[in-house]
Structure 1
Amino acid sequence: MRVPKKTGSSKRVKNLNKEEVLQQVIMHGQISRADISKQTQLSRPCVSSLVDEMIQEGLLYEVGIGESKGGRKPILLEYNYQAYAIVGAIFDGSTLEMAIADLRGEFLARFSKRLAQPDNGETVIEDLAAGLERLLEKSGIARDRLLGMGVGVQGVTQRNSGTVSFSPSTGWMGSPIQQTIEARLGLPVIIDNDVNMMTLGEYVRGVGVGHSNVVYMYVGTGIGSGIILDGQFYRGCREAAGEIGFMMIGPVHNRIKRAAGVFETHYSVPGIMQQAKGLLSDLQEGSSVIIELIRRAPQDAEAQQLLVDVYRHWAYGMANIISVLNPELLILSGEMVHVDEEGVKRIHDWLTEWVPEVPRLEKASLGEQAGLIGAVHSVLEAFPSTRLLDKE
């Protein structure tokens, strides 16, 4: 395909040409200068000059000799995925998880901290800053090699404006949190809902790979979902799509301004724990309530009854999602990954009874890494390789 002729300032033209060269190397894995020239229709001297610059800048390096096509054997080029780094961070309400990754999205170092004051937004940002310093120290990456940071938070986020319009766990209600974090850390930042970040992680690296219509359902301190339709995130007009914790599933209560929705009030992990207060009084912090209910159910009728009630109400939420969105894959995550084979079959049987088309039900495969992978990938999507050239 013929590449349109570039016009404009010499610096802009040069960067556009460098971008083409970089994309060819990334696309092919390994490629010679001559083949780059053929693909881009840039002259060989131009390609050689640009490649030499990018080798000096650390973006490309020579990796060996390729096969001859009738002349001298060509020197192959490869993209340096360690040229820059990306940071991902996820707040799940009580814990901060962070990772620093290379440009493939491979983790170089990780950091985790239990948050003492999850409802204090200022403290959370300071924890984020301290975590970044720890990651830089552990990885040996210089701060000026950071491309950006993806941050997943609970609540409704507006990516374009960088605000969080509803996040009771942090107190960020209508706050321009993206700009605040950028000012504190000195880095470009992408914010999104934490479950959307988890969804993206499973979509690009987990059980969602190869599927175009996916719903990711998460049960943790709240209940939420991420929605991908025809390969694109569906966010809704105010980016509040997927807030299924507000479905009217369970006993209705009068919700005050900062309260959780009906569904998550009763059937999130804290909601289930509240229902099991007398039954599981000895449950250790951090243990799975579902695993414990499954363990006790054969000998304890009360545990069995609660377990079935939880499964049934989770299935109500799934039926509502399926009826509206008709996904090909429904990913069960968070506390739902602990549901045993018998429980998954029970849920599937209910769904078969209630809705005309039942999608595949799959448990999330990436565990706690899903959100971090998604956060890192969000930066790779938002800051394409043109930004690498702007860094120089």
Structure 2
Amino acid sequence: MRSSKRTGSSQLVKKWNKEEILQQVIAHGQISRADISKHTRLSRPCVSALVEEMMREGLLQEVGRGDSRGGRKPILLEYNYRAYAIAGAVFDGLTLEMAVADLKGKFLVRYQKRLPQPANGELVMEALAQGFEEMMRECSLESERFLGIGVGLPGVTQRGSGTVSYSPSTGWMGSPIQQTIEERLGLPVIIDNDVNMMTLGEYVRGVGVGYSSVVYLYVGTGIGSGIILDGQFYRGSREAAGEIGFMMIGPEPARRDDASGVFETHYAAPGIMNKAKGFLSDLQVGSSVIEALIRCAKEEQAEAARLLDEVYRHWAYSMANIASILNPELLILSGEMVHIDDEGVKRIQDWLCEWVPVAPELKRASLGEQAGLIGAVHSVLEAFPSTRLLDR
């Protein structure tokens, strides 16, 4: 019995020591065994033995020699960011974006597929499985090398239960999406709203870096937002915070239970296109309706100028509402909003300064279609910190 306790205790101490070594290597980038011993206060023989074990496990690798301090040049160690991989996927209602990344979050392989409309849930699942298989083949990795996949999906996602409780476009209404994807792909899955994944991406790698309270605004086939307050996502009591497409902005239509919200009915991309069909009938699929309106307005087409002003003003109404309630430092403009030119951004900023006592800063998103993928990958990195790799 005592022997068992001693064995359990020694295994725990060994794991703690390996965690300390791993943290030192990650913190320094490249470091010698001697410097690890100095920083951790572990004996050199202990460090050498554990480092050898971690190299066999693939977590550490030797990367050459460092500068001499009077004796032989030390051999430097580095964290092997290719020891495992992470997958990310975002479906925005039209296009499925996927990527495989290393443990630094660097993309190794990307995959994109535009889905035929309407893209029901089964169609999305098939595309997700196909994309994952293609990426595994391209980067020559087996599924056992993946820590997990972060998946951003349209609708109200319930991360605790792993369900999507409201997603009219896909038909997922309370469906156990997380479990379904896990069974299909054979690896752990983290689901979230697609706009939340985009928000996280811009927050950790884009224009949101350095801010603590940010609201990310996305206009595409619908309208949504992601909310980060004091460095933490705000999701609301049932994880439906940020569904600003349901703001009562614009004429109120008769609404069915599965219909879009009032705001996005009128001022998401399809609604704007519907308003502009009389003079933008030749707009190509995939082109920006805002860029087209700006171009026509500069050519002094009165209808385009009036519609552009209407769209900007109603988008600004939503920003004023958000600023009045949440008082964020920054509003990130994405989707169709990223095509607003400098003059348009200034007009909206001036309106906000006129309408609300404390106007947030406005910045266009900088990461483009990568934002959601970066957020999806980062969500897995947060869930599987480096020290947990020692348990694999």
Q: How does 1:99-178 map to 2 (within 5 A)?
A: 99-178=99-178
What's the offset of the Cα at 1:41? Answer: 3.3
Q: Does 1:343 align with 2:353?
A: no
What's the CA shift string for 1:345-374, capped at 9, x where partnerless? 111111111011112111000100100111
Q: 8 Å contact 1:51–1:60 — kept in the other structure?
A: yes
The gaps in structure 2 that reach 5 residues or longer are 1-5
Q: How does 1:188-227 map to 2 (within 5 A)?
A: 188-227=188-227
What secondary structure sits across from 1:89 in the alignment?
strand
Please give the alpha-carbon distance, in whole angstroms, between the structure 2 residues aligned to 1:336 and 1:7. Answer: 60
What's the CA shift string for 1:279-306, capped at 9, x where partnerless? 2111111111011111111321111111
The Cα RMSD (Å) is: 1.7
Residue in 1 that maps onto 2:366:
365
What secondary structure sits across from 1:170 in the alignment?
coil
Q: 8 Å contact 2:143–2:187 — kept in the other structure?
A: no
What's the CA shift string for 1:5-35, capped at 9, x where partnerless? x995544443333222211111111122232
Q: TM-score when scaled to structure 2?
A: 0.94
Count the aligned residue pairs: 386
Q: TM-score when scaled to structure 1?
A: 0.94
Q: Does 1:383 align with 2:364?
A: no
What's the offset of the Cα at 1:231? Answer: 1.2
Q: 8 Å contact 1:117–1:123 — kept in the other structure?
A: no
Residue in 2 that maps onto 1:313:
314
Q: 8 Å contact 1:218–1:224 — kept in the other structure?
A: yes
Equivalent position amino acid for 1:362 in 2: K
What's the CA shift string for 1:305-359, capped at 9, x where partnerless? 1110000000000001111111111110000111111111111111111011112
What's the offset of the Cα at 1:69? Answer: 4.9
Q: Does 1:36 align with 2:36?
A: yes
Residue in 1 that maps onto 2:185:
185
Q: 8 Å contact 1:118–1:124 — kept in the other structure?
A: no
Please give the alpha-carbon distance, in whole angstroms, between the structure 2 residues aligned to 1:45 and 1:250. Answer: 71
Q: Does 1:246 align with 2:246?
A: yes
What's the offset of the Cα at 1:105? Answer: 0.9
Q: 8 Å contact 2:66–2:74 — kept in the other structure?
A: yes
Please give the alpha-carbon distance, in whole angstroms, between the structure 2 residues aligned to 1:222 and 1:41. Answer: 56
Equivalent position amino acid for 2:61 in 1: Y
Residue in 2 that maps onto 1:3:
none
Question: Is the alpha carbon distance of 1:385 and 1:42 closer, same or farther for their aligned partners in structure 2, counting shifts above 3 Å?
Answer: same
Residue in 1 that maps onto 2:355:
354
Q: 8 Å contact 1:7–1:13 — kept in the other structure?
A: no
What's the CA shift string for 1:13-61, capped at 9, x where partnerless? 4333322221111111112223223333333322221111111121111
Q: How does 1:293-312 map to 2 (within 5 A)?
A: 293-297=293-297, 298-312=299-313
What's the CA shift string for 1:130-172, capped at 9, x where partnerless? 0001111222223221111010001111212211111112111
